Structure 1
């Protein structure tokens, strides 16, 4: 789904399907103000959202995964708009997640705090994350887990950190792995079919292989 600045869509009504309703009007104004193409995207396992600067005759483009819960969708949307705002200010002179982006991300999150959009636990996790925001909200395990706690239940799935050591688990595409050992913040796992070693985030969603 796209929101084009040229098309007279009721952006706020559509955004309310994905965002906390009280946050939708401001995000709609940002889309218009920044003349941004905003896309609600399919699920991407590698990222929640994406920003692309003007190029090849196209303007600013932001995409956010459709299947995020409203709070995760909002945090991701603000994250990407902070990239857009930073690009407008500094073009390619600023690092993607440098001091300029961090300052903009903090500033652009403030209106949603003032409106008390977030539950207390989510706000607390965001405030902690904002002390030094990383490249992705997935990088902050506390924020990631807090946001995921508002997802709809998935009974058959669990995260890698909950899989017992030496147990087998599988991904959505059917690939099967054995959880071998913890290496600092990630888990070393062996793919059964190829015997190759992979490192998994503790919050990666998998399905336990019984027996």
Structure 2
């Protein structure tokens, strides 16, 4: 995370008596919060491979869950109004310290008008955060793949990109001819004909 953010996150870990783990990379999520259960206290994990700004946004997201659980237990929805208010409030100190570059700060400000379950669901914020990732050789987002070009997923399945339908791209799996909808920011690898 950005060095100037670390002292506050350290205080939160102590104050909330939270087990904070840096975890392996997970494709399905950037971070996770678990409430106290079975003799264990609050637990937060954040993927190790996030850039410093994505790591911080994810960490604050998960601490907002913890804070909301402390206030409301299981009476509040996971990404309901209580969580949204806590997330906004808990992001403020990092704005005050000017931790984020201008493009990320602007994207977070827009996102905070109605934060979603994941920073990935806000394409503007997700794109802003990804600009600070180290370059990945041979990896493209679906939106950057040329029309009718072939691409493959990590599992080896091959698709052909078709037209955009509102927010997602229609893609045809070559082996099965089944149609799938892809997020514009899904990471794929181009393949030859």
| TM-score of Structure 1 vs Structure 2, range by shorter chain | over 0.9
Task: Select which of 32, 35, 38 maps to 1:50.
Answer: 32
The 5 A counterparts of 1:24-63 are 24-63=6-45
Match of residue 191 from structure 1: 173
Unaligned runs of 5+ in 1: 1-18
Give the CA RMSD over aligned residues: 1.0
Match of residue 84 from structure 1: 66
Match of residue 188 from structure 2: 206
Is 1:65 equivalent to 2:47 in the alignment? yes
Cα deviation 1:31-76 (Å, max 9, x = unaligned): 1111111111111111111111111221111111110000000000
| CA–CA separation in structure 1 for the residues paired with 2:70 and 2:94 | 22
| CA–CA separation in structure 1 for the residues paired with 2:32 and 2:171 | 28
Match of residue 126 from structure 1: 108
Is 1:137 equivalent to 2:115 in the alignment? no
Equivalent pairs counted in the alignment come to 193
Unaligned runs of 5+ in 2: none
| CA–CA separation in structure 1 for the residues paired with 2:134 and 2:191 | 22
Cα deviation 1:123-174 (Å, max 9, x = unaligned): 0110010011111000100000000000001131110011122211011222
Match of residue 11 from structure 1: none
CA apart distance, 1:184: 1.4
| CA–CA separation in structure 1 for the residues paired with 2:154 and 2:184 | 16
| CA–CA separation in structure 1 for the residues paired with 2:178 and 2:28 | 20
| CA–CA separation in structure 1 for the residues paired with 2:34 and 2:13 | 14
| CA–CA separation in structure 2 for the residues paired with 1:184 and 1:136 | 20
Task: Select which of 148, 157, 169 maps to 1:166.
Answer: 148
Cα deviation 1:171-202 (Å, max 9, x = unaligned): 12222111122221111222222333222111
SS in 1 for 2:169: strand
Of residues 152-161 and 103-112 in structure 1, the stretch that sits farther from structure 2 once superposed is: 152-161
TM-score by length of 1: 0.88
